[in-house]
Amino acid sequence: MRTTRVTVAALAVAAALTLTACGSSPAKNDGGVTQITGEKKAGAATLLDRPFDKPELVLTDTTGKPWNLREQTKGRPTLIYFGYTNCPDVCPLTMSNIAVAKKALPKEDRDKLQVVFVTTDPERDTPESLGAWLRAQDPAFTGLTGDFSTIQAAARSLGIGIDPPKKEADGSVVSMHGAQVIAFSPKTDEGYVLYGEGTTVDDYTKDLPKIIKGENP
């Protein structure tokens, strides 16, 4: 089967260009966004040549308590997505697709899977509002908010460009961000699989059982 070589930075730009309704566009590349190569598989997954280290990230969860990404996802299959609750389409669709696919898993596997949503719009996404939004998707999803520069640095370390939220002339606020989901292995705690904006419920349904085991999709 033929494979192609891609870069995470290229994927970020390609995804962002299609997300104008979500307020996403290519973040300015000042050299801070990690670039890495991977192998595009037949489905939605891109297997990364050099997996990402899990960021040292401590933010505030939806209960208002500190939440340490490395400590609280250690040894667990984990999906991480950066987005914002006021996004009209792509962010809720991405989380909904994951939630639906998760429901198809056996309970034991559902309990193992950690899904983390990190806001790119922390000024508006308070712990309370973020919690209410995520509960409508899946009450078990973890929502994190906090200092924007801290969030931006973590996203960039995973090849995801995000810009500070910007107020438009009509008064609306848009949050520019890449639309990738990164899957971390429970075996190595490294991010080894990338999913783009077009990933469907069927894609996640097919791949999640393997990700939960730390296998290649």
Quick one: tokens of 16?
């962002």
Q: Give the residue among 74, 95, 77, 99 at the shortest CA–CA distance from 85.
A: 95
Q: Are 68 and 155 in contact (CB under 8 A)?
A: no
Quick one: tokens of 104?
């198809």
% of the chain residues with pLDDT over 90: 71
Mean residue pLDDT across the chain = 85
Q: What is the mean pLDDT of residues 110-137?
A: 96
CA–CA distance, 67 with 89 (Å, rounded to integer):
27
Q: What is the per-residue pLDDT across 22-39, written as a single tens digit (0 to 9) for each?
A: 543 333 444 465 554 455
- pLDDT confidence band for 165 (50 / 70 / 90): confident
CA atoms within 13 A of residue 167's CA, in its CB half-sphere? 3
Q: Are 205 and 101 in contact (CB under 8 A)?
A: yes
pTM for the whole thing? Answer: 0.83
* Sheet strand arrangement including 37-40: 4-7, 37-40, 45-53, 190-195, 181-184, 78-83, 114-119, 142-145, 58-61, 66-68
CA–CA distance, 105 with 70 (Å, rounded to integer):
24
Q: Are 133 and 127 in contact (CB under 8 A)?
A: no
For residue 17, pLDDT over 80 is answered with: no
CA atoms within 13 A of residue 209's CA, in its CB half-sphere? 7
Which CA distances in Å does 82 have to 169, 193, 206, 213?
Answer: 25, 15, 22, 24
pLDDT of residue 175: 79
